[in-house]
Amino acid sequence: GNSVTQMEGPVTLSEEAFLTINCTYTATGYPSLFWYVQYPGEGLQLLLKATKADDKGSNKGFEATYRKETTSFHLEKGSVQVSDSAVYFCALAGYSSASKIIFGSGTRLSIRP
Amino acid sequence: GAGVSQSPRYKVAKRGQDVALRCDPISGHVSLFWYQQALGQGPEFLTYFQNEAQLDKSGLPSDRFFAERPEGSVSTLKIQRTQQEDSAVYLCASSSTSVWETQYFGPGTRLLVL
């Protein structure tokens, strides 16, 4: 079945450091791929998405590219801020209204000032 | 406009009690999903509604779990005879149309079964 594997945390970085959180997936067909973020005390929010191979999703300085050849969707940011401290979830879904989202286990990111 | 709301935000139940968790989706959203998030894990799918029809309940862990959405808006997730392993955060999400759109998540209900 479909599944998502992401880099285990926690990850601790200094402010302005470069961030990569790895994510790989297993799926039949052509899923859509997502990164969701959960800030402390808040609900899950969609950070970015890509719906087909080679698409790049981007938002708030974060980027991820849908790589079908390596079945990956790694999250990157060039210069992290303290406010980026949160739990990040890689996820996938099929293209239909009945498509449940399958989440990875999450990566906790902490940024030191 | 208002987002997805859930109530109660926190629920403590004694083992064996029944609980009911409510989800108010964004007005007009056709699709509604329930997920269960155990501590330190990602959310896992429980069930899906399109309007009032429950089209997928493959993720419900046992027949103690029951969900309904009788008028195609508010949904209730009911857990009968709660067990300690039911302790988790229960998330509700809704999306707008019959074609896949972004799912908007509520803040969740944290259930603790003692």
The residue behind tokens 């970085």 is A13
Using CA coordinates, name the residue in chain B closest to A97.
B100
Contact A97 B41 (CB under 8 A): no
**3-state helix vs strand vs coil in chain A, percent to 5:** 5, 50, 45
As a whole number of angstroms, the longest Cα–Cα distance in chain B is 41
Residues 73-102 of A with CB under 8 A from B: 89, 91, 93-102
Read off the amino acid at residue A101: I
- Model confidence over B99-108: pLDDT tens digits? 566 889 999 9
- Model confidence over B30-85: pLDDT tens digits? 999 999 999 989 999 999 999 999 999 999 999 999 999 999 999 999 999 999 99
d(CA B66, CA B76): 8
Three-state DSSP at A82 gives helix
Q: Which residues of chain A have pLDDT under 50?
A: none
Which structure tokens are listed for B25?
């989706």
Q: What per-residue confidence (pLDDT) applies to B100? A: 60
C-alpha distance from residue B24 to each of A7, B6, B8, B57 (Å):
33, 6, 11, 19
Using CA coordinates, name the residue in chain B closest to A32.
B100
Q: What per-residue confidence (pLDDT) applies to A98? A: 60
Partners of B105 in the beta sheet? B93
